[in-house]
Amino acid sequence: MIAVLKRNAGQEDKEKVIRVIKEENFDVHPIQGVEKTIIGVLGNQNNRTKLKEKLMTMSCVEKVVLILDPYKLTSWNFKQEKTVIDLGDDVKIGGSELTIMAGPCSVESREQLLKTAEIVKTGGAKILRGGAFKPRTSPYSFQGLGEEGLKILSEAREKTGLKIITELMDIEHIDVVCQYTDIIQIGARNMQNYSLLKEIGKLNKPVMLKRGMAATIKEWLLAAEYIMNEGNHNVILCERGVRTFGEETRNTMDLSSIPLVQQLSHLPVIADPSHGTGRWELVTPVARAAAAVGADGIMVEVHPEPENALSDGPQSLKPEKYYSMMVEIAAISKTLYSFESSEKKIAYV
Amino acid sequence: MIAVLKRNAGQEDKEKVIRVIKEENFDVHPIQGVEKTIIGVLGNQNNRTKLKEKLMTMSCVEKVVLILDPYKLTSWNFKQEKTVIDLGDDVKIGGSELTIMAGPCSVESREQLLKTAEIVKTGGAKILRGGAFKPRTSPYSFQGLGEEGLKILSEAREKTGLKIITELMDIEHIDVVCQYTDIIQIGARNMQNYSLLKEIGKLNKPVMLKRGMAATIKEWLLAAEYIMNEGNHNVILCERGVRTFGEETRNTMDLSSIPLVQQLSHLPVIADPSHGTGRWELVTPVARAAAAVGADGIMVEVHPEPENALSDGPQSLKPEKYYSMMVEIAAISKTLYSFESSEKKIAYV
Amino acid sequence: MIAVLKRNAGQEDKEKVIRVIKEENFDVHPIQGVEKTIIGVLGNQNNRTKLKEKLMTMSCVEKVVLILDPYKLTSWNFKQEKTVIDLGDDVKIGGSELTIMAGPCSVESREQLLKTAEIVKTGGAKILRGGAFKPRTSPYSFQGLGEEGLKILSEAREKTGLKIITELMDIEHIDVVCQYTDIIQIGARNMQNYSLLKEIGKLNKPVMLKRGMAATIKEWLLAAEYIMNEGNHNVILCERGVRTFGEETRNTMDLSSIPLVQQLSHLPVIADPSHGTGRWELVTPVARAAAAVGADGIMVEVHPEPENALSDGPQSLKPEKYYSMMVEIAAISKTLYSFESSEKKIAYV
Amino acid sequence: MIAVLKRNAGQEDKEKVIRVIKEENFDVHPIQGVEKTIIGVLGNQNNRTKLKEKLMTMSCVEKVVLILDPYKLTSWNFKQEKTVIDLGDDVKIGGSELTIMAGPCSVESREQLLKTAEIVKTGGAKILRGGAFKPRTSPYSFQGLGEEGLKILSEAREKTGLKIITELMDIEHIDVVCQYTDIIQIGARNMQNYSLLKEIGKLNKPVMLKRGMAATIKEWLLAAEYIMNEGNHNVILCERGVRTFGEETRNTMDLSSIPLVQQLSHLPVIADPSHGTGRWELVTPVARAAAAVGADGIMVEVHPEPENALSDGPQSLKPEKYYSMMVEIAAISKTLYSFESSEKKIAYV
């Protein structure tokens, strides 16, 4: 940590700052510049947020700059091998293949889901998505089928062999959701629901953590730390677009976050172009871009009849669009793997 | 609702759109423009989100514009009198006085809190804030004292007569928090934790709902609808700054949201300049601005020794700063009330 | 245009609104809903901004929604064939090939530029970029070599056969810049410098218009309209990232804007991953994504020794990185063209 | 400046970084932490941007943190007294009074402007605003009356004694605009039109520089440095709202920027609630807030008949609204000055 003193700070201020730092058991390395004094602080990492805030309350301190990243368990420093989530039956996330998750926004009925599951499987995806508990912006919108929806998902898994991912919204539904799903999804609105993250951290189940609508990379990784810190290291990250001033798309897909996170962390990163754009016409090109940028997987909304969907119809692909998207991203992914081996070494070390 | 057809939509498209609308039991009013056709849709409000999404999936539809606001219970249309939250002992929010809530970010110890409570009372605030359960960005930061903290808050209430506001983070702590607090605070990170909002909606306790970091006015009011829809109409809104590209302050305080929400809703709106700026030097001027813009109250962080705070020290006021802020906002508030009677009529009708 | 009246608007208000609309020579189609009245407005497009603002000042009007897009010359409605900018010698932008522009941020010296030009050519790009007039955030940073720089660019063109693109910052340098360059670049900071846009509109020279840091798609296309409205239809658009709350990258690359603009406009769209990310480690993955999303070209910063660059070193590729990027995007582009023919028809009609 | 080396940087990397720093004639102070090495850099400020970018291109360097602010002439360090712009006839900006600028968005006709000038004067403002050259988002909107408009402004000045402020959009109109105006306004869209800023820097005329739509405080002050660096120190800053995700207002007024800039700079800062909100119903409350936050002045749009304005009608105040706003902000300003003396000392030292 570096404390920068204000231009007009005197010898007494400097000594006071040094005293405060020493009281917290850090070492001090002052550097006297022509215009300002800066004080290097070395030592015990655990205590540093407290010391930082303490220094920032002192009126002679202009700013405090942290040197070490706040992440621990998510970083390459903690673990030098890429995390691969193995769901069994040769379905993996973070390995050498682009993993596709597809399905409807919500489970609406047995018929709708089973039909979609067949389409999803035919297209080549390995994981079926579908919401049973839905976080809707308005209390007057469809809120999901609940456990009934989970049972339908489970039936689809039996029929197709697809793995299941579904959203968990609160602690009280942990047991029921875990009973049916292969991966727990934590939605963007709950990315900083720390009570929920801590409980999930006590499970063994893989978790996909969506980036919050206005979350920085740091906050996103720290949310993953909440889960990992309790013991569950099976975390997948999912970029689903951030909120900007743009009015033309539902969100702005931040694709550069994917290679950036891959440089900072060993966790796999998935892209969700359906929520990232909110418009079905943009889903296929952005899915191609996500494959090309190096995402570990892609999650996409598919519906047999988007015009009759109870939620997110406007961003859902029709079956034929989904099939052609699958062909395109497979081709791009194949192209990418032909030259990426060297790249990967550079990116991950 | 208005559906705008694409420029190249033909007679057949138009008929199909009309058929879809009628199937959902809405009435149709097509208007044929020179370049585009628009179709006015009239009828049953409950079903309209479904119809909107359905229309948006149709490739001949360019866009769908909602005419009616999605809010019901929060709007002046539902209730023509300003909501006043009465906490007893003449402490009200939303009435004719500017209500001040002050206190530390976190309850750190009995000594710290009782000392702060005395300061808060001396300055003239009526409500004491203090966090016992803390939503911290990093799992490695201080997480609060839990129930121990709630007991200390309760003791402070007995000693000073101040009312209490404290944050609730999850459903499982509802009972224990309600036992001690006068107002439940829902933090910005949980604004869209709908499971929590629904449970709180079943209580009678007043709730202060902070605006999410990237929430639009519409999303904020709809979050309040989640609470009110379950029966609890004692909702206070709190503007605490939104996230923008700015690096100089922790958030950007959106003060114009206060008169805007007051035009849309009968609920009282509070301003939180401590979180809104993140820097104690800016708290007093922004608190003055909040009073002048017409906020129903102000929440501010005060600490006897910000340099020893376990959280948010950099944005906490020292006692003497707090006292002078209180004098200043009281003077502004008094000035405002001298001419606002006519203004209020305009704003609220 | 649709005018939505406030809930409490009466018959008199409605009549007044209708009168105002008719005075401006528009036709009126009122629709009486259960809760609100909306008034459809048909007619003369030229006058509509004026009428819109007029209606918005009326206290009984809640909002006014435009139905027709404000673009004319940039839209597919004006021209049904994709615009192809032909620079001669088989160098085209917007045609069937991905066009690459590469080179240093600034022309720093004859040696530096000629060396870079050789590298650029070896890698396979067809157009050389290099700034002679530089818009730097601080007046104390390197401001460019001016005409001297333009002469060096011109010499590089002669030696390598590469076409030239360079930035124009003001009207007084139009003649000198046009004398040397093949494409005029208008930077993000000047996207709404309308005096400059109008003057460029009077030329015949191709122009590349970068998206402003906080420009919506609509504002960007309207800036292009300023140029086209004066007669110059040789406009290329360039997405270079927008400003968001993110701190980790210089900007947030909005790749979905590329297919979106291609659906709205016949103009070619280029991506600039160097400015879009600000970090060389992210340039190659984001360039791959830009190729995959369907960009008509890519502009990238290359420097023989980024560590000695006078500007933008941190986002410039070293020669070997540039070469491998070129191989990768060529492979992706080839893959894309293998299936895009059908896609193109869908996107552009 | 501080260079932070990557965790895996070795002794050789460290030596290379030190060599690069010394070559640029800076002094080096390395600090060896447990996990990372940081290198303090002392010396010649002029060269530091170049050194910073050089270090950032080195693959062993994680980040570079600047210690000194990039501002020179705008900062309290350069000038310890608040800048007061004296326009003569006792009209000052930055002195002990809140200065009001009011008038229409555009000069539309002699009648409209002279009538508005009378209203402006009656309300108590000292400066008349009015655009003769208008930067409109669409080329198809009213572009202003040009020199004709300037002559009308000049006539209004003669009749009323009000001072004049009007926008300058390009270098070629400098002479004609200066001939008629008391203050040159540089609009938000031209905040980074550096060629224009440099030319204005050569004049003696006061300049009001509006903050760009997505400009950070640093970029805004550096734009002011462009003007001051050429010799013109008569600069006024104007906060007019920034662009955020909000859809409900035209911009988000960043009122905390005003005390923040006042802490960093001796230049006066004005607030523009008309552009900052875009809605006349919000102008008065936000103007009150601007007065309370400590702005040096307020600029507001007034029109005798907003419903007939050729631009910005929706955000213009009618005469009676303007009069009541003037009464309210005068009262708040008076209240503020009653206790601000001590505050000012704190803020500005």
Tokens representing A244?
């900007």
Is C298 within the bounds of a domain?
yes
Nearest residue of chain D to residue B276 (CA atoms):
D256
* Predicted pLDDT at D282: 96
* C184 shares a domain with C96: yes
* Predicted pLDDT at B277: 94
Nearest residue of chain B to residue D291 (CA atoms):
B289
Contact A280 B316 (CB under 8 A): no
Closest chain B C-alpha to A71 CA, distance in angstroms: 9
Burial degree of B75 (CB within 10 A; 0-12, 13-18, 19+) = middle
Is C229 within the bounds of a domain?
yes
Residue B29 per-residue DSSP state: E
Contact D244 B248 (CB under 8 A): no
pLDDT > 70 in chain D, percent:
97
Contact C314 D53 (CB under 8 A): yes
Q: Are B252 and D254 in contact (CB under 8 A)?
A: yes
In this predicted structure, the answer to whether residue D347 has a pLDDT above a threshold of 70 is: no
Chains in contact with D, where contact requires at least 3 CB pairs less than 8 Å apart: A, B, C
Residue B139 per-residue DSSP state: T
Contact B40 C31 (CB under 8 A): yes
In this predicted structure, the answer to whether residue D349 has a pLDDT above a threshold of 70 is: no
Is C74 within the bounds of a domain?
no
Q: Are B74 and B267 in contact (CB under 8 A)?
A: yes
* A290 shares a domain with A152: yes
* A200 shares a domain with A165: yes
Testing the interface with A: which of D245, D247, D265, D348 to mutate, by most A Cβ within 10 A? Answer: D245
C contacts of A253 (beta carbons < 8 Å): 254-256
Amino acid sitting at position A202: K
Closest chain D C-alpha to A47 CA, distance in angstroms: 15
Show the DSSP H helices in B267-306 as ranges.
273-277, 280-293
Kindly give the parts of chain C with pLDDT less than 70.
45, 340-349
In this predicted structure, the answer to whether residue D303 has a pLDDT above a threshold of 80 is: yes
Testing the interface with B: which of C78, C245, C349 to mutate, by most B Cβ within 10 A? Answer: C245
Chains in contact with C, where contact requires at least 3 CB pairs less than 8 Å apart: A, B, D
* Average pLDDT of the residues in A87-98: 95
Which CATH number does the domain housing residue D14 bear? 3.30.70.1140
Contact A192 B20 (CB under 8 A): no
Question: Which of B31, B77, B245 has its CB closest to that of C243?
Answer: B245
Residues near C97 by Cβ (< 8 Å), separated by ≥ 6? Answer: C333
Is A73 within the bounds of a domain?
no
What is the radius of gyration, based on Cα positions, of chain C? Answer: 23
Tokens representing A18?
């040094």
* pLDDT classification of D65: cutoffs 50, 70, 90: confident
B contacts of C31 (beta carbons < 8 Å): 29, 40, 42
Instruction: Give the span between the Cα atoms of C203 and C120, in whole angstroms.
Output: 28
Cα D332 versus chain centre, distance: 23
Closest chain D C-alpha to B209 CA, distance in angstroms: 19
HEC letters along chain A: CEEEECCCCCHHHHHHHHHHHHHCCEEEEEEECCCCEEEEEEECHHHHHHHHHHHHCCCCEEEEECCCCCCCCCECCCCCCCCCEECCCCCEECCCCCEEEEECCECCCHHHHHHHHHHHHHHCCCEEECECCCCCCCCCCCCCCCHHHHHHHHHHHHHHCCEEEEECCCHHHHHHHHHHCCEEEECHHHCCCHHHHHHHHCCCCCEEEECCCCCCHHHHHHHHHHHHCCCCCCEEEEECCECCCCCCCCCECCCCHHHHHHHHECCCEEECHHHHHCCHHHHHHHHHHHHHHCCCEEEEEECCCHHHCCCCHHHCECHHHHHHHHHHHHHHHHHHHHHHHHHHHHHHC
* D158 shares a domain with D56: no
Show the DSSP H helices in B124-234 as ranges.
147-160, 174-180, 194-201, 217-229
Contact A7 D31 (CB under 8 A): no
Instruction: Give the span between the Cα atoms of A204 and A211, in whole angstroms.
Output: 21
Is C73 within the bounds of a domain?
no
pLDDT tens, position by position, D184-243: 999 999 999 999 999 999 999 999 999 999 999 999 999 999 999 999 999 999 999 999
Residue A285 has a CB neighbour count (10 Å cut-off) of 28
Q: Are D308 and D110 in contact (CB under 8 A)?
A: no
* Predicted pLDDT at B340: 60
* Predicted pLDDT at B347: 39
* Predicted pLDDT at C102: 98
* C246 shares a domain with C184: yes
Instruction: Give the span between the Cα atoms of A83 and B119, in whole angstroms.
Output: 52
C contacts of A263 (beta carbons < 8 Å): 281
Amino acid sitting at position D120: V
**What's the total number of domains in chain C?**
2
Q: Are D226 and D205 in contact (CB under 8 A)?
A: no
Burial degree of B60 (CB within 10 A; 0-12, 13-18, 19+) = middle
C contacts of A343 (beta carbons < 8 Å): 284, 324
Burial degree of D315 (CB within 10 A; 0-12, 13-18, 19+) = buried
Residue-level pLDDT, tens digit, chain B, 349 residues:
899 998 889 999 999 999 999 998 899 999 888 788 999 998 876 778 888 888 888 888 988 988 888 889 999 989 999 999 999 999 999 998 999 999 999 999 999 999 999 999 999 999 999 999 988 888 888 889 999 999 999 999 999 999 999 999 999 999 999 999 999 999 999 999 999 999 999 999 999 999 999 999 999 999 999 999 999 999 999 999 999 987 788 899 999 999 999 999 999 999 999 999 999 999 999 999 999 999 999 999 999 988 877 777 788 999 999 999 999 999 999 999 887 654 443 333 2
pTM of the model: 0.92
Closest chain C C-alpha to A317 CA, distance in angstroms: 14
Is C80 within the bounds of a domain?
no
Is B114 within the bounds of a domain?
yes
Contact B292 D292 (CB under 8 A): yes
Domain that holds residue A198: 85-348
* A190 shares a domain with A254: yes
Instruction: Give the span between the Cα atoms of D180 and D202, in whole angstroms.
Output: 18
Closest chain C C-alpha to D95 CA, distance in angstroms: 28
B contacts of A229 (beta carbons < 8 Å): 139-140
* Predicted pLDDT at B130: 96
In this predicted structure, the answer to whether residue D346 has a pLDDT above a threshold of 70 is: no
Is D73 within the bounds of a domain?
no
pLDDT tens, position by position, D121-148: 999 999 999 999 988 888 888 889 999 9
Instruction: Give the span between the Cα atoms of C142 and C131, in whole angstroms.
Output: 11
Which CATH number does the domain housing residue B269 bear? 3.20.20.70
Instruction: Give the span between the Cα atoms of C308 and D147, in whole angstroms.
Output: 48
Q: Are B17 and B24 in contact (CB under 8 A)?
A: no
* D92 shares a domain with D28: no
Q: Are D156 and D117 in contact (CB under 8 A)?
A: yes
Q: Which of A284-288, B177-181, D335-339 has the lowest mean pLDDT?
A: D335-339
* C258 shares a domain with C225: yes
User: Tokens 């993250």 appear where?
Assistant: A197
How many CB pairs lie under 8 A apart between chains B and D?
A: 143
Nearest residue of chain D to residue C139 (CA atoms):
D226
Testing the interface with C: which of A216, A222, A256 to mutate, by most C Cβ within 10 A? Answer: A256
Residues of D with CB under 8 A from a CB of A: 2, 4, 7-8, 29, 31, 33-36, 38, 40, 42-43, 65, 67-68, 77, 243-245, 247, 349
Closest chain D C-alpha to B240 CA, distance in angstroms: 13
Question: Which of C33, C243, C245 has its CB closest to that of B67?
Answer: C33
C contacts of B68 (beta carbons < 8 Å): 33, 35-36
* B234 shares a domain with B140: yes
* D156 shares a domain with D33: no
In this predicted structure, the answer to whether residue A340 has a pLDDT above a threshold of 80 is: no
pLDDT tens, position by position, D259-289: 999 999 999 999 999 999 999 999 999 999 9
* Predicted pLDDT at C123: 97
Q: Are B293 and D288 in contact (CB under 8 A)?
A: yes
* D135 shares a domain with D14: no
Contact C137 D222 (CB under 8 A): yes
Contact C172 D169 (CB under 8 A): no
Residue C80 per-residue DSSP state: S
How many CB pairs lie under 8 A apart between chains A and C?
A: 143
Testing the interface with C: which of D52, D53, D282 to mutate, by most C Cβ within 10 A? Answer: D53
Local structure of B271: helix, strand or coil: strand
* C105 shares a domain with C51: no
Nearest residue of chain D to residue A62 (CA atoms):
D67
Instruction: Give the span between the Cα atoms of B59 and B155, in whole angstroms.
Output: 63
* Predicted pLDDT at D58: 85
D contacts of A67 (beta carbons < 8 Å): 4, 33, 36, 38
Question: Which of C256, C331, C339 has its CB closest to that of A328?
Answer: C339
